[in-house]
Structure formats: structure tokens, C-alpha cells
Amino acid sequence: MGEGNFLNLLKTTGYTLGPVGLSNQNNTLSHGTLVTSATTILAFKYKGGVLVAGDRRATAGTTVMYDRADKVIDIDSHAVMAIAGVPATAFEMARVLEHSFKYYRRSQLQELSLEGKVRALSRLLKDNIPMAIQGIGAVAPIFAAYDPKIKEGRIYFYDILGAEFEGVEFATSGSGSPGIRGVLHYQNKWEERPVSALPQKEAVILALRLLETAAEFDAATGGVKKSANVFPIIKTINDAGVQEIPLDVLNRLYEEQVVGSHV
Amino acid sequence: MFDEPYRWVEAVSNRREYLEEQLKAASPVIALPCLEGILLLSVSAGTQKLYEIYDRIALGAMGHPADVERLRNVILDMAHLEGFNRSPSDVTARRLIQFGLAPAVKQAFEEISHAPYIIRLLIAELGSSDQPILYTLNYDGVFKESHQGVVLAAFGEATERAEAAMKALDDPAARPVAAVFEDALTLWALGEVTEEHVETHLKETLKERTIEGGLLSVSLNGSSKYRGITASEIKAWTGKWSDG
């Protein structure tokens, strides 16, 4: 009582993060069932804050399991977690985090610091190491939040063992991320304006193009499926909180700025 | 010592007197429905009395701060474990009171070899259709449900006085929180003094004590619907009683 640690409270009830004792190779359970995984996620700073985006595809081996997965999850009013890796573990981590931050605020009567929030996710990843090294529960998330101390958004990315890194300008993760990481580097280094100088509309266009690029080269990343109204999830974070870019805006910008280019 | 039943009954009766005496100096807590949701209000000399419990649930408390804190932690743990293991929509004020707080409080009250909880609690919930659901819990474990508004006051006469005034209010659920705040503050004063002293009492209170307000608001974005009433809102809404 009194420490405001929800994960410890959960553990007193016998809770563990994910199943234990499974052995595995190549994303399969011991009896051969494929494990669902995912993705391309990205975050970058733009003129109005931080933008976080993710595609919608979840795959198991070469099978597309789901094309409407929401991988950019609100954790609180000013923080989101974008998930890459095994959804079962990643969604559970997001749920634990969401409850942890609320529980801390309500029990300690103050917000958990951003450093505390960043470390909480790191601790969950460390608790998940046995699953990650067996290859069936690896998660490499991005965490982005508004920092009231410096009055700007910040981006953190993690490896599957829980090491945390701050992305000064941007971060990418997931199987489709290597390609777009290079694009973001190029944009920052040689384009007329760095990503952080883009207004929101251009930032959203860039995010749509990056995810289309990732989908072009990575089978585990889903592209836009306009006929089914499936678009990436794109959210912005600033002092006003987390806001999702509405579907009609994505639809319009996609139509105007993403399709119909050269090829 | 308490082997004979009448001794036990006498001890419980003494304990009731003791608790009423302890609660005499406690500041009332008011909850009223308003257009935005549910307004909670109290006045303190520094110790917080209104708390966010879960996404749509808030707590108002009078009594000993250490006892309030113990019970607050009990329902915080219960609410968050339930919300995590099942769903946030399974966390309701009724379940928290009926299965969590009331049995524990009653047991403490009747175990006369142990200290009872010196408390009166109010739990407010924005229901699934945004309707106000209010519960009061007494130190003996008795709880009541209401949908119109609740006054927690130190003694029966003050409660009756404030409740009579509450029933005469122009439907608070149809009026904005700024207007209902004035009513709630008046009801709070009636929980301490008689009608003819309300104005003076409020003027003195504003100078010397801290007004605390909380709002369970249907219009807040996100899953958490509770927010504190800000100092600037309180200043703006209590202007008629302040000197400057």
C-alpha cells in the first residue's frame, strides 16, 4: 500500500506478463502454431508536436491475420505507445501501462513523471525477456509523450530486452522500418526543411508516404486499403494532448498526395 | 468482558456516540448532478477530501484522514484490479461499496476490541448512460443510493437542514456547473450553520479555508472523466461571497 505501483499490486494476485515456459523457433509455438506479429511504426517531431503512426497489418508467418490492428495506443491523455512485435504481449503491455499510470496518479495524487513512465515500459520489457528470447513474445515499441517540463513532445524507442533510447528527431520500429529510417534521415539531412519544421498537414502526408513505402518492401506491413476504408492510425501529441487524425482527412490527403505519383 | 450480549450492545452504542463526537468537527461534503455530470464540493483546512477513484468514479470523504486514506487505498486497489482483469465497465460504485467497503467498515465497527473507521464517505459515479449514481457509506457500514444529490454532514440536524434545501433547488441536473457550484457551496454552509448565518459563514470560510471542487464530466476526452475544479474557476464562481 502507498507506493502506487500497479504492476506490483498485480503480481500480488499471481499475475505474470504472458505465458512462461514455452519453447520456440521461428515464431512458432512448440506444437507448430504460428505466432501473430507485426509491423511498421514510426514517430517524428514536427512543427506542432510529435506525430506517431502505424500500419494496420498483423501477420503470422506468411499469413495476414488481421488488417485493422490499432498499433498506436493511447496510454494516457498525453502519451501513446506504438507497438511492433507480438500483439498479444504488446497489447497486454499497453493495458498494464495504462492502468499503471492511472493508478499512480490516483493513489499518489500526482502525475507520474515522464522519466517514470519511460522506465515503466522498460521494466515491462525486461520482465518479458524470457518470452522475447524464446522468439514468441518480442516487442520493440515506441513511446511518445508530451513533456510538461520542457513543453515539447519526446520520443523513446526500445529494444526487445528493455533498453530505452531517446529519438532526438525520429524513431522507427518493426520489420518495415529499416527502409523508412533511411528516408527520414535523408529528409532531415538534405531536404529543404527537416522533419521537425514541417507543419501538421505535411507531416501527415510524410507519414502516409513512409508507411506506403514500408508496405511496398515489407510483406508484414499493410498498405492503405481504400476500398475497405483501412488507413494507418496517425496520432499527434502536444500540450493539448493526444489527437487522432480523422479518417476523412487521411482519405483526402492520401488521394491528393500519395496515390497518383510517378508509378 | 463482552461475553454477555447486553454488554456488547452497550459497547457498540458507546462506540456510536464516540464516532458521532469525533465527526462533529468534520467538514460537510456535497455532491450534486449538473449539466456536465456530477459536482463534488467540500471545504478543508488543508487535507484533501475529494479524490478520483476510477475512470467514472470519485470519492468524497469526511472523518479521520488516516482512516479515509486506508479505505481509499482499498477501493483504489479493488477498482484497478477489477478494471484490469475484467473491464473498466465492470467497475461500478455499487460493487465497490457493497462488496468492498461496506463489509470491511461494518466489521471494524462491530469488532469492539479494535478501532473503528472514523469516516463518512460519498461515492459518485457517472453511470453507463452518464446518469448520476451516488452512494453514502456511514461508519457502521450502512450505505444508501441516491440519484438526486447527497449531503454528508457532521450531525443529523445539519444533514436534514441541508437536504431540505437541496430538495428545494431548481433542478441542478439541468443547469451548468458554475451555477450548481453556488448551490453546492450554500448547501455546504447549511451543513455547518443555520440559514441566517450562511452568508457570514461563507464570507469567513472563503478568507480562511480552502474550497475544494471536483467534477465527473461527461465531456472530458478520454476514459478518465474526473477533474479538479481549478482555483480560477472557484474564484470566479464564489465572487458574490468574496470581498475582492
Q: Can you give the residue range of the structural domain that contains A59?
A: 35-258
Residue A28 covered by a domain: no
Residue A73 covered by a domain: yes
Number of domains in chain B: 1
What does the alpha-carbon distance between residue A187 and residue A154 come to, in Å, rounded to a whole number?
Answer: 19
ipTM confidence score: 0.93
Residue A243 C-alpha, separation from nearest chain B C-alpha, in angstroms: 10
Query: What CA dihedral angle connects B39, B45, B46 and B52, to 10 degrees?
Result: -20
Residue A95 covered by a domain: yes
Q: Can you give the residue range of the structural domain that contains B200?
A: 26-241
Helix axes B177-190, B198-208, angle to 10 degrees: 100
pLDDT tens for chain B, residues 1 to 244: 556 778 888 888 899 999 999 999 899 999 999 999 999 999 998 889 999 999 999 999 999 999 999 999 999 999 999 999 999 999 999 999 999 999 999 999 999 889 999 999 999 999 999 999 999 999 999 999 999 999 999 888 999 999 999 999 999 999 999 999 999 999 999 999 999 999 999 999 998 899 999 999 999 988 999 999 999 999 999 988 886 5
Residue B226 covered by a domain: yes
Quick one: pLDDT at residue B140? 96
Number of domains in chain A: 1
| Residues of A marked as catalytic | 39
What does the alpha-carbon distance between residue A151 and residue A149 come to, in Å, rounded to a whole number?
Answer: 6
Residue B1 covered by a domain: no
Quick one: pLDDT at residue A28? 52
- Note the residue count of chain B: 244
Average pLDDT, chain A: 90
Residue B19 covered by a domain: no
Task: Output DSSP code: residue A85.
Answer: B
Question: Is B127 buried (19+), middle (13-18) or exposed (0-12) by CB count in 10 A?
Answer: middle
Residue A6 covered by a domain: no
A105 at interface of B, judged by CB pairs closer than 8 A: yes
Question: Which grid cell sits at A67?
Answer: 488488417
- DSSP assignments along A202-249, one per residue: HHHHHHHHHHHHHHHH-TTS---BGGGTB--EEEEEETTEEEEPPHHH
Confidence band, pLDDT 50/70/90 cuts, at residue A97: very high
Residue B4 covered by a domain: no
What does the alpha-carbon distance between residue A241 and residue A97 come to, in Å, rounded to a whole number?
Answer: 17
Cβ neighbour number for residue B40 with a 10 Å cutoff: 27
A174-185 pLDDT, tens digit each: 999 998 999 999
B222 at interface of A, judged by CB pairs closer than 8 A: yes
Q: A83 and A139 in contact (C-beta within 8 Å)?
A: yes
Task: Output DSSP code: residue B172.
Answer: G
Residue A26 covered by a domain: no
Residue A118 covered by a domain: yes
Which chain B residues are closer than 8 Å to A10 by Cβ? 81, 84
Quick one: pLDDT at residue B2? 59
Q: Is the pLDDT of residue A236 over 50?
A: yes
Q: What is the CATH number of the domain that holds B151?
A: 3.60.20.10
Q: What is the CATH number of the domain that holds A165?
A: 3.60.20.10
Which chain A residues are closer than 8 Å to B51 by Cβ? 106, 109
A111 at interface of B, judged by CB pairs closer than 8 A: no
Beta bridge partners of A59: A37, A64
A110 at interface of B, judged by CB pairs closer than 8 A: no
Residue A55 covered by a domain: yes
